[in-house]
Copies of this chain bind each other. A is one copy, B any other.
Amino acid sequence: MTSTRIKLAIEAGYLFQKKGYNGVGLSEILRKAGVPKGSLYHHFPNGKADLALAAADLASAEVLRIINASFDGAADYRDGVTTFCHKLAKYFDIHEGNVGCPVSATLLGGQDDDAFRDALDSIFTGWMAQIAAHAVRFGQSETQANHSARRLFLSLEGSWTLARARRDSDIMRALPDLVC
């Protein structure tokens, strides 16, 4: 049994990723999650903004999980990158080629809120730190590793955008050649 709170955050995350923060109405989220109107403000006192932050947290955790799953059994750093990119490409395809980066679509989709940008910054920093840690584990120096992580992250973020414009995830699968 999934709690109402989590059901809401999951559904919201999926919709924000597809249509952006301002492209989704609370009524749609509520309807698709099967949650009555009045319930939302019990679980998310600050309403839509709280919901977006929760959704971004959930999505971020999932990305971290994918990062670790990709690098843990890898032969070397490049092998980890390759697995990671293919996993994301597959994820993109499952969503019919019409989703953006789950956290930036949610937290930058038209909101000027400082709290959103702070949250986004720390999420991104966390991803890069995790990638860098794996790079170190595979023998890179601290400096090299940060460099590698940043290079991968930036290209990846760019790939979400280009892949969406093209409805084609190939660009993600081509990333290892570009950044390793």
Contact = CB atoms under 8 A, between A and B. Distances in A.
Interface of A: 18-24, 98, 100-101, 104, 107-112, 117, 120-121, 124, 147, 150-151, 153-159, 161-162, 164-167, 171, 175, 177-179
Contact of A124 (B18, B104, B124, B162): B162
Contacts of A165: 104, 107-108, 117, 120-121, 124
A156 B157 contact: no
- Please state the number of chain copies in the assembly: 4
Given A20-B109, A23-B109, A162 B166 contact: no
Nearest to A120: B165
B167 A117 contact: yes
What are the nearest 10 A-B pairs in CB distance? A23-B110, A154-B158, A20-B110, A157-B158, A22-B22, A120-B165, A158-B158, A121-B165, A154-B155, A22-B23
